[in-house]
Amino acid sequence: MFDFLNQNSLFVVLTIALVVWLGIYLYLFRIDAKLKKLEK
């Protein structure tokens, strides 16, 4: 596993960044949905 991380460090970093951005996007999407419910 560690050998894989060493050889593909850029790939690993990009994957982690993608997961983080997806998490932020989903979090904002849920907040937006809650705000719309509150406005109604």
- The answer to whether residue 5 sits within a structural domain is no
Range 5-17 average pLDDT: 90
The pTM (predicted TM-score) of the whole model is: 0.63
- The answer to whether residue 10 sits within a structural domain is no
Share of the chain above pLDDT 90, in %: 70
User: 34 in helix, strand or coil?
Assistant: helix
- How many structural domains comprise the chain? 1
Expressed as residue numbers, the domain containing 40 is 15-40
- The answer to whether residue 1 sits within a structural domain is no
What's the pLDDT score for residue 32?
Answer: 95
Q: CA-to-CA distance for 11 and 38, rounded, in angstroms?
A: 41
- The answer to whether residue 30 sits within a structural domain is yes
What's the pLDDT score for residue 4?
Answer: 77
Min mean pLDDT across 3-7, 14-18, 21-25, 34-38 is at: 3-7
Range 22-40 average pLDDT: 94
